[in-house]
A and B are shown apart, each in its own frame.
Chain A
Amino acid sequence: MLTFLTRRLIASILVLLAASYVVYLLSANSGDPLEDLRTSTARNKEQLIQQRIHLLNLDIPAPLRYFIWLGGVLKVFIGQFDLGKSRSGQAVTDMLASAVGVTVQLLITSTLLAIIFGILIGITTALRQYSGYDYTVTTLSFLFFSLPSFFVAVILKQYVGIGFNNFLQSPVIPWWVILILALLAGGIWQGILGGDAKKRLITVAVAGGATAAVLTFVTLTGWLNNPSLGIVVVGILGVGLAFLVAALTAGLANRKSLYTGLTVVAIGLAIYYPFNLISDYLTIWSVLGLGALAVVVGVVVGYLWGGTDRGISARTGGITAFLVAFLIAIDRFMRSWSNYANSDIINGRPIGTVGAGTPNLSDVTSNFWIEGLDNFTHLLLPTISVMLISLAAYSRYSRASLLDVLNQDYIRTARAKGVSERAVVMRHAFRNALIPITTIVAFDFGGLVGGAIITEIIFAWSGMGKLFNDALHLVDVNPLMGFFLVTGSVAVLFNLLADLSYTALDPRIRVAV
């Protein structure tokens, strides 16, 4: 395995090198880097031109200049990473350092969310093939697939971002909106759950009623301006999640799994108050550490419940623990919301449409939860806009791929043996359906980068997208190459991850050592 990965890595790096040569040549020839100086009226024009030629080595032809750049990159092995300088004399490594964080955050969040939601939607549509729900989702995904990213971003910024901020000034949801949303929720749920007419009606009534009740509660108590879940809601949701996770991973017939989940929820509720007491002193690393600890506790609980299926119970425990910890963290974030939204610096307009974070926020507070919220409000719309387009594609792929698998003979065999529908879908079909999706996700990364460039420019982020755009407009090759190096390396990384997940998903795939 290691040999294989090393070989793949070396091959990828060679490809990356060749691609960087292509990009270097193309971008160096894409325009005249001295254009602004040639037409300038400055008295020391000649001197300025000479200065820039000297700074960027423009007197060396591009095919050779590349090797100067490459030499700088290779210096990484002696600990001096050097990506050259931009036109203004700034080191590209410094420019990248400030730009890379937000963009990678945007890319990874939207990829992960697109994968999760895309697969969820794909599975539900495949299981309810040719239903009204399936047709609606298919039509919608075609629409999203045909939307240019700038279109989505501009609409989100104008109507969702600014519109929601205006709405927050007096957050009262009119009754007819509640009615429409309730009917919509009922419609979606009956589409997903299916069944005969009576069951569908009950589903519509329950889901619609619950939605209406929650929305009425939200509008009556002004929850949006001062949100929190509280220990009761965390408990109810936690128990619901425990049942769901147990039903999906082990089946409700496996009692030990279910008890594991419920025990984990109980532990979560027990530490709810202690956690909130210490939460103000936490940093990002301690929060992540606590999350990891929660998973470990969940696994241990599952193991202690024991029985013959220790492994399965441990898995259920781990997943449930992670979700419960997540709920508690969300609740904690919500408690900081009114502090955040009503602070002088935000002034009641929390959804950010400009920049990747509120400037000067770190001068005011260093509270992890406040900073997290700020990050969230600024990431929200760009992430949705980058995600939507890939989401449409992924849901189509996973639908097709799951349908393909469900029509295989071994699925018919499994059903004929009397295996429960849950086990057929989750154990026999789902895993195999994931294999082709993995390829798509790795392959699609380049498209995602394109979407991110456009989205960043619309939301005025000073990230990699702006770096690339500015560099290309000015024919500034070094920052552009820095951009390509980062995105290219991440793409190589994604491909390697895809290779790894093949072996994890399909035991038949064994790598020649």
Chain B
Amino acid sequence: MTIPLSPQPPLRDDAQDADRDTLTDDTVLDDAIGERNENAIELKEIEGMSQGRIVVRRFLRHRGAMVSAILLLILVILAFSSEGIEALGLHIPGWWKYSYTFIGNVTNGGHPTLSVIPEWLGGAGIRWGEHPFGQDEIGHDTFAQVMRGTQQSLMIVFVVGVVSTFIGIVVGAASGFFRGAVDTILMRLTDVFIIIPLLVLTAVLGRTYGNSGSFVLAIVLGLASWTGLARLVRGDVLGLREREFVDAARVAGASNSRIMFVHILPNAIGVVIVNATLLMSATILTEAAIGFLGFGVQAPDVSLGKLIYDFQTAFTVRPWLFWWPGVMIVIIALTINFIGDGLRDAFDPRQKRALNRAARLAKAEARAKARVTASS
């Protein structure tokens, strides 16, 4: 036996080998008696539902993930509606009065005018003000810049997610399915890219393509971040292709591509979605990091990382220039992480929700009752 080069998904390793049969009856029969009663209750709840419905239902019930999803949605709407959309020569103006390129007079030393503490609590009252997030030393409106930066960063995250997931699936599925020489070549290629620290690879690529606009940069970053996902998909496909339903399909005369797209990949979708989400939350940090080093999106455009790069020395004089983009990055990364966590719980059939106190007591009671019945 050789040492397994076991691929590991980020954060938790029980998603990939998720046993998709735990919901069927015969596995339940093997379980302890108390467990059977609980599972029976759980099964009753999801009786007659498709796998997809079950997943959606579990996700919708994950409180952290739902709160995060709503928060992220609000942020996306805020960012895109306030500054408008500028893409492909199309220009839709937003509701905010300043654009991110606007340069005005610095009023009140550029301090933020946003205030959330009401007057009766000793604050300045709840008001939005002229420059809610303040201004930098030459008079840019920070709110406009942060919103534009958020747009760009979200766009980069999304494009990187799509590009790297696509490459990851293709490489991983091909090498897991065909094995042999294809596997060796593709996996050695993956090794070559994995050994280059991600920040080094992305910074070098950012240095080359940062000037060509944020969309090109996003695609290039996507070309650099697929390796982890490819390994995970390969691991999953390697396991799935040995399963009986694949044999059955082959005996029934299905072609390779049909087996791949109809039988194997739909079963690997959980791993893909979960890890693509986590990859996206890592991407926002990567973009911020290379932006911080000055290799990300270049002027006149802005991204959250670029804003921090521009204002890192202003920390002692104008701390808000650092805080607003920084907090935006944290919020985006945090919400995407929570959504990823919710998705993973939803796709993992072994997942059991933490029970509240009442439910725990009920469960213990049911178990005790079952034990009595079993012994009598």
Contacts and interface: CB of A to CB of B under 8 A. Distances in A.
Given A23-B200, A512-B1, A150 B195 contact: no
A509 B204 contact: no
Contact of A150 (B14, B204, B207, B288): B288
Contacts of A322: none
A503 B13 CA distance: 20
Given A447-B198, A472-B207, A18 B330 contact: no
A487 B194 CA distance: 12
Contact of A400 (B14, B188, B281, B294): B14
A65 B338 CA distance: 47
Contacts of B338: 142
Given A26-B205, A450-B289, A472-B295, A436 B13 contact: yes
Given A23-B200, A453-B199, A30 B326 contact: no
B90 interface: no
Contacts of B204: 23, 26-27, 30, 472, 480
B3 A142 contact: no
Contacts of B326: 148, 151
Contacts of B10: 393
A461 interface: no
B316 to A, nearest CB: 8
Given A154-B315, A499-B3, A15 B196 contact: no
A502 B2 CA distance: 11
B199 A436 contact: no
A69 interface: no
A154 B1 contact: no
Interface of A: 4, 15-16, 18-19, 22-23, 26-27, 29-31, 130, 142-143, 145-151, 154, 158, 393, 396-397, 400-401, 404, 436, 439-440, 443, 446-447, 449-450, 453-454, 457, 468-469, 472-473, 475, 480, 483-484, 487-488, 491-492, 499, 502-503, 508-512
Contacts of A146: 281, 285, 330, 333-334, 337
A413 to B, nearest CB: 13
A449 B200 contact: yes
Nearest to A488: B195
Nearest to B211: A31
A450 B198 contact: yes
Contacts of B203: 468, 472
A26 B208 contact: yes
Given A29-B208, A511-B3, 11 more contacts: A30-B208, A145-B333, A158-B316, A396-B11, A397-B12, A400-B11, A446-B198, A475-B207, A483-B200, A488-B195, A511-B1
A30 B207 contact: yes
A18 B192 contact: yes
B352 to A, nearest CB: 10
B200 A400 contact: no
Name the prevailing secondary structure of the B interface residues.
Answer: helix
Interface string B9-29: 011111000000000000000
B297 to A, nearest CB: 15
B65 to A, nearest CB: 11
A31 B2 CA distance: 44
A453 B285 CA distance: 14
B312 interface: yes
Given A19-B195, A29-B208, A404 B292 contact: no
A443 B228 CA distance: 10
B322 interface: yes
Nearest to B304: A148
Nearest to B205: A26
B13 A397 contact: yes
B156 interface: no
A404 B312 contact: no
A103 to B, nearest CB: 12
30 contacts: A4-B3, A16-B195, A18-B192, A142-B338, A147-B330, A148-B288, A148-B289, A149-B285, A149-B289, A150-B292, A151-B326, A151-B329, A396-B12, A400-B14, A401-B13, A446-B195, A449-B197, A449-B200, A450-B198, A450-B289, A453-B293, A454-B289, A468-B200, A473-B207, A488-B195, A491-B195, A491-B197, A503-B3, A509-B1, A512-B1
